[in-house]
Amino acid sequence: MFLTCCPNVYSMVLKTQINFIDNEILLSLNLQPPFKAFLKKDFLHIYQDDEPKFSLPISFPNLIHWVYNKSLVGFKINNTTYLTDQAYKLKELLNGRLFFSRIQDFYTPLQILGQGSSAKVLLVKSKLGDQYFAAKCVEKNELMYQEIEINNQLDHPAFVKIKEVFQGETSYYIVMDLLSGKNLQQLIKNQHGGLTLEQSSKIMHALLSGIEYMHSKSIIHRDIKPENIVLQKTNNLTTLKLVDFGLATYCNLKKFKYPKCGTPGYVAPEIANLTDKDTTYGPACDIFSAGSVFFKLLTGRDLFPGTGFNFVLQLNKKCHIDFSPLTLKKIPLNSILRELVQKMLSKDPKLRPTAQECLNHDFFTLTEKPSNAHKKMFFAQTRSATLTVDFSSPEEKPDYKGSFVTNDIVPQLPQMPKMVMKFNTTEFEQYD
């Protein structure tokens, strides 16, 4: 109110912020007179007659409306339209940092790749070229800000980078790179008795490298499982991505908003047995989940075998693990491997190694740089739908619908022209 009544003071505050707080210019924009703009690290500053008019913080949940007339010609903020021939460059620099308007101006929806209780994933095609992407359509809620923020912090090959985030009437659309490979659950189904030791080693090394990086940012995933580990390229194990950060959170918070969540069969027992909602836990919960994935890769079996949500959850809570499938498989370096898996699956989180300690374990150091004789023995081995929900009581969290598997069915790209015929350009509005 004070700044509105005292424009001179407001202008002085803006000048101070522009000149001293946010002083690195990323882009200078020539707008229609009497306006001009400067994009800096954290703000978009708008000037009128060489005086600062206002500054838009570059962060969620702020929104920029794009002005589109056969091509991108400008933007609109606070009901004021600004025209510029640098609109595409501005959009590129703002990608993934705040909400955009009207996804239908930039992408054509082609097909639903998968859907869950609170989200859909669409195959979309850019209107600026022949590139295809995945667009995750989710209901509007404040938790999405944290999921997007977390994704933006993970600049590592094991994670999918968010390209853009659009806001619709009732939904958000998160545009990401399209993953054309299978998820690990699909790969394991085709391999009776699990994957080879070489394959398992490559997958787990890549996964643990991503987890180590994620934990260095004080982020925990809380839903690591085969369905959430997807290959970016078919049959290329080095391109795996850990996806779906719907349950991810910062582990240094004093209290988690939803402390009891995950997938029975993969969730850490300290979470499955949680009774005090004010209790927190740390990165070790992801190590247990990764250990469960490791066990399944090697054996082809579930860590807690059984059918039915509640039955598997009860086994998960007790955490009485049968390691005999590892022994029966006669794996080279069995004792070293079994030691690592058992440590990762310790019921006591304090006994589990960190992701970095896992990577430094003899199993990986020997498989990464084996001697010729050792290598010959080591790789002589031959190849011998879990529901994710918050499993708190309905009273604890009645509105949460669980996480969403982002890659159930991925079509082959050469068939795209056939799919285009099945969908119209108003498909986005049908999801709002």
Q: What are phi and psi of 417, to 5 degrees?
A: -55, -35
What's the token pair of residue 44?
């978009």
CB 9 within 8 A of CB 15: no
Distance, in Å, from the CA atom of 392 to the CA atom of 387, rounded to the nearest integer, reads: 14
For 152-283, strand residue ranges (E) read: 162-167, 171-177, 219-220, 229-231, 240-242, 249-250
Distance, in Å, from the CA atom of 308 to the CA atom of 312, rounded to the nearest integer, reads: 6
Cα atoms in the 13 Å half-sphere on the side-chain side of 256 = 24
3-state secondary structure 305-353: CCCCHHHHHHHHHHCCCCCHHHHHCCCCCHHHHHHHHHHHCCCCHHHCC
**β partners of residue 183:** 230
Specify the DSSP class assigned to residue 247.
T
**β partners of residue 67:** 74
| CA-wise closest residue to 223 among 147, 149, 163, 321 | 147
Identify the residue whose tokens are 């002589």. Answer: 380
Residues in the chain: 432
What's the token pair of residue 252?
């240094």
Task: Say if residue 136 carries a ligand binding annotation.
Answer: yes
CB 281 within 8 A of CB 246: no
Distance, in Å, from the CA atom of 281 to the CA atom of 270, rounded to the nearest integer, reads: 8
Enclosing H/E stretch for 114: strand 107-115
Identify the residue whose tokens are 């994670």. Answer: 159
Distance, in Å, from the CA atom of 136 to the CA atom of 428, rounded to the nearest integer, reads: 11
Q: How many helices (H) and strands (E) does the chain have?
A: 16, 17
Distance, in Å, from the CA atom of 353 to the CA atom of 284, rounded to the nearest integer, reads: 8
Write out the binding residues.
136
Write out the binding residues for ATP.
136
